[in-house]
């Protein structure tokens, strides 16, 4: 599919089928074509348009000294890169992990000051937290922060517009591993491999953001081993890995109006 280098605006339902795997990109509905100028500032990027077998691995909720290093080891052994959406509180607590993430060629985006669901707050307070978290994370990184993924993917339209207006692009996903559910490392890798498609942004976690939201005990699988199995499976299927930023620089973005 060609796009002339422009972003493609799709229905929320396309993005929401997070376990569909290989799938064609649907043609835009009429309302998306005619409403494009008004809708684009409200939209979030979900994946990219490409026929290449390439996927952006994205890890949320860290960094965590108990789990993030094993994932970084797995990525290094496979020669893979990923995007880490981190919490400012944890980044400040573990700056050495942030330095390692960057030194090994990975990308860092903001996931929030902490793991608060921002849709539980007034919009003005939510946006203040996002901007403050961005400043805090940039201070630890020593470089600007341009990507943001809200905790739980939760945002309203006013929050999305305000986030974009502040210079952050909101990044969601089109595939996931459901790695917050019970299962083994092999189960997590299998679910992830079933969901990937060319240009996908795959949702993973290198830590648990908020234990209070779990309905049972936290999953006990080995996150480093899950990443190793996932990376081996991707290689066997002919997939390469990249960062969100690199994919957006190389391919047209698939955007959607995401309110959750």
**Among 94, 111, 197, 205, which one carries the catalytic annotation?**
205
Entry pTM = 0.93
The C-alpha atoms of residue 97 and residue 91 are separated, in whole angstroms, by: 8
Average predicted confidence (pLDDT) for the chain:
91
Specify whether 89 is catalytic: no
Residue 17's pLDDT is 86
Residue 160's pLDDT is 94
Specify whether 197 is catalytic: no
Return the sign of the alpha-carbon dihedral for residues 227, 214, 117, 43. positive
Alpha-carbon 26 to chain mean position: 22
Tens of pLDDT, residue by residue over 131-164, are 999 999 999 999 999 999 999 999 999 999 999 9
194 vs 34, 187, 236, CA distance in Å?
34, 11, 13
- Cis status of the peptide bond prior to 41, with omega within 30 of 0: no
The C-alpha atoms of residue 114 and residue 231 are separated, in whole angstroms, by: 29
- 51: pLDDT confidence band, cut at 50, 70 and 90? very high
Q: Does domain 48-256 have CATH number 3.20.20.370?
A: yes
Least confident stretch, 13-17, 49-53, 58-62, 157-161 = 13-17
Question: What are the residue ranges spanned by the domains of the chain?
Answer: 48-256
Tens of pLDDT, residue by residue over 94-140, are 999 999 999 999 999 999 999 999 999 999 999 999 999 999 999 99
Token code pair at residue 179: 């790695």
């Amino acid at each position: 599919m060609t796009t002339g280098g422009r972003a493609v605006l799709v229905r929320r339902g396309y993005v929401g089928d997070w376990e569909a795997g290989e799938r064609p990109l649907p043609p835009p509905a009429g309302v998306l074509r005619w409403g494009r100028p008004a809708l684009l500032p409200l939209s979030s990027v979900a994946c990219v348009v490409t026929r290449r077998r390439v996927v952006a691995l994205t890890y949320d909720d860290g960094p965590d000294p108990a789990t993030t290093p094993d994932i970084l080891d797995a990525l290094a052994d496979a020669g893979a890169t990923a995007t880490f959406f981190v919490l400012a509180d944890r980044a400040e607590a573990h700056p050495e992990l942030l330095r390692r993430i960057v030194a090994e060629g990975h990308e860092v985006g903001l996931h929030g000051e902490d793991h608060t669901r921002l849709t539980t707050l007034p919009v003005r307070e939510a946006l203040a937290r996002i901007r403050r978290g961005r400043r805090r994370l940039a201070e630890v990184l020593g470089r600007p922060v341009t990507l943001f993924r809200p905790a739980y993917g939760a945002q309203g339209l006013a929050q999305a517009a305000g986030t974009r207006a502040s210079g952050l692009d909101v990044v969601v996903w089109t595939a996931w591993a459901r790695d917050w559910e019970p299962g083994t490392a092999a189960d997590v890798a299998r679910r992830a491999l079933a969901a990937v498609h060319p240009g996908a942004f795959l949702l993973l976690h290198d830590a648990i953001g908020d234990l209070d939201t779990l309905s049972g005990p936290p999953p006990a699988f080995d996150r480093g081993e899950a990443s190793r199995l996932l990376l081996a499976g991707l290689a066997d299927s002919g997939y390469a890995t990249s960062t969100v930023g690199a994919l957006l620089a190389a391919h047209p973005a698939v955007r959607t109006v995401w309110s959750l």
